Structure 1
Amino acid sequence: MSSMNILSIQSHVTFGHVGNSAAVFPLQRIGHEVWPVHTVNFSNHTGYGDWGGPLVSADDVTSIIDGIGRRGVFEDIDAIVSGYQGGPDIAGAIVDAVARIKEVNPNALYACDPVMGNEKSGCFVSDEIPPLLRDKVVPVADIISPNQFELGYLTGKKVGTLEETLDAIKAAQAIGPRVVLVTSVQRPETEEGSIEMIAADGDDAYIVKTPHLPFKRNGSGDVTTALFAGHYTETRDASVALGRTASSVFDLLQKTFEAGTEELQLVQSQEYFANPRLQFEVTKL
């Protein structure tokens, strides 16, 4: 297994696991070097309704990227990962960083989780973020990991059946990214008590089905994006990346569900990251 250098530009929380506090450790545990750049420095995720700590300005994010650049290591970066983008200026700083890194290393991959909202709660980011993601960020990404709701927004297409979902994936690829991972897929044909993920790489698409656990935990999407990006960057195989990611994330969620904790059992689940059980079959579509 080869170790990659992954630059992860995301939020940071001291207590709990979202953003970089969800992404960094799993990536390290599967054997990659992670260079975190924090976009906020909060006590906890905002879902608690109360938190302390500052937003990191886009200028400060860029200043950190500049400092990394002065070490002459842009060419060593294999992948850049980003998630929730708090403000429009942060999106600009990320897109700028991606452009500068790719200029030095055209093989570097940019994996973007276009966080906007979900089916149940609708959009939960500020109004200016979704169009910005669609028009500025997603076009420069190599990998995106939207849920069904976000895929529908990005492409302006109805996403329900398998056919509609694959059609929307094609439309998303036309915007820029070659690889599209659709998380939390529930379509009319999905078996009761199941949930699916679909990964497409160019013309090839793969699906995996796992049991659906009846609860939500902040940060699980961040872990999913990070693991998929790490595995894909290493193997360049969407099927392998999908199988490993689905296995690890299911076991993480099951462990958290059984523990009944508010936060992901991230450290307790580390063995599932390092050695995914591969208990779910990946099927080519």
Structure 2
Amino acid sequence: MSGLVLNASGIATMLVPTVLYGRQPGLGDPGGAAVGHEIIQSMVDGIEAHGALDRTDLVLTGYFASAAQVFAAAAAVDRVRKGAPAGEATQSNPPRPWIVIDPVMGDAPGGLYVGPDVANAIRDHLLPRADLVAPNAFELGHLTGRALTDLASMLRAARALERPVLVSSLPRHGLIGVMYVEGDEAWIVTHERCEQSPKGTGDVLTAAFVAARLGGADARSALETSVAATVSLVMRANERGCAELPLAADAGLLHEPLISLAAEAL
């Protein structure tokens, strides 16, 4: 899903899959299997041989099926940082190369859906390399070891990571929100809970935020537009009775959402 969102914004992608599944695991037995870390490393080696790692502006990680895959991803991040020309971050531009870690490991109320070794590897080997971390509320609590009981505790936990953080699935006044925290700056966008929410909204949200920032939007604007776009896709999925987000049919919603949302300063 992330690749589709980035492509829709004119961003060319190089995909290194960690699993080959027939469907989203949240819908039931997915079929397929995890990709061996040796194969992942071989794919990265092929990309490097093509010279593409030296032209990489963004690394966006997602789901990992094993700790060995995490270690391979960490090594790839180091290779990108070594070869790609460095660019300073500004209000309208993230750093180049930009390392975005989506620590896919679990959700409430089910808890972890990866092994503890995978969760620990993400925390210990990818978080220290991140320019932006994009957890949901459960993952933020797990990564920081903190009990998140209200917005204030979530804000403190996000700042404890000591890097920009995009946190999704935050409860607020009966609504649900997404928060962006960077240093002393913090914004939250809230919206009504949708009747049903297809799987993959976190992937789409993170990729939409990243695409907006790479397109020149500041963090607040990127937060507003990415949340509005994700909610719009969920609304359209519910209208169509889709179990998944209709990214191919309704990619235009990424740029022209059905709704507009305003961020609140925290």
| Same fold flag (TM > 0.5) | yes
Match among 86, 96, 115 for residue 126 of structure 1: 115
| Mapped pair 1:145 → 2:134 | yes
| Mapped pair 1:200 → 2:196 | no
Deviation at 1:131, TM superposition (A): 1.5
Q: Which residue of 2 aligns with 1:240?
A: 221
Question: What is the correspondence of 1:19-58 to structure 2 with a 5 Å cutoff?
Answer: 22-58=1-37
Give the alignment's TM-score, normalised by structure 2.
0.90
Question: What is the correspondence of 1:91-106 to structure 2 with a 5 Å cutoff?
Answer: 91-105=70-84, 106=86
Q: Which residue of 2 aligns with 1:14?
A: none
| Mapped pair 1:211 → 2:192 | yes
Question: What is the correspondence of 1:253-272 to structure 2 with a 5 Å cutoff?
Answer: 253-272=234-253
1:276–1:254 CA distance, 2 compared to 1 (3 A): closer
1: CA distance, partners of 2:119 / 2:26: 20
2: CA distance, partners of 1:216 / 1:275: 20
Match among 71, 75, 78 for residue 50 of structure 2: 71
1:276–1:75 CA distance, 2 compared to 1 (3 A): farther
Unaligned runs of 5+ in 2: 87-95
User: Are the counterparts in 1 of residues 57 and 97 from structure 2 also a CA contact under 8 Å?
Assistant: yes
Q: Which residue of 2 aligns with 1:15?
A: none
User: Are the counterparts in 1 of residues 225 and 260 from structure 2 also a CA contact under 8 Å?
Assistant: no
Deviation at 1:236, TM superposition (A): 6.4
| Mapped pair 1:117 → 2:98 | no
Query: Which deviates more from structure 2 when the two are superposed, residues 61-70 or residues 267-276?
Result: 267-276
User: Are the counterparts in 1 of residues 225 and 261 from structure 2 also a CA contact under 8 Å?
Assistant: no
**Cα RMSD between the aligned structures?**
1.6
Match among 130, 135, 139 for residue 124 of structure 2: 135
Indicate the SS of the match to 1:74: helix
2: CA distance, partners of 1:117 / 1:74: 30
Indicate the SS of the match to 1:152: helix
Count the aligned residue pairs: 256
In structure 2, what residue type is equivalent to 1:111? Answer: V
User: Are the counterparts in 2 of residues 39 and 56 from structure 1 also a CA contact under 8 Å?
Assistant: yes
1: CA distance, partners of 2:257 / 2:115: 36
Unaligned runs of 5+ in 1: 1-21
Deviation at 1:28, TM superposition (A): 1.1
User: Are the counterparts in 1 of residues 18 and 40 from structure 2 also a CA contact under 8 Å?
Assistant: yes
1:245–1:63 CA distance, 2 compared to 1 (3 A): same
Identify, as 1 or 2, the structure richer in strand: 1
1:254–1:47 CA distance, 2 compared to 1 (3 A): same
Q: Which residue of 2 aligns with 1:220?
A: 201
Q: Which residue of 2 aligns with 1:184?
A: 169
2: CA distance, partners of 1:31 / 1:191: 37
Identity of aligned residues (%): 30
In structure 2, what residue type is equivalent to 1:148? Answer: A
Match among 83, 97, 102 for residue 62 of structure 2: 83
Deviation at 1:32, TM superposition (A): 1.2
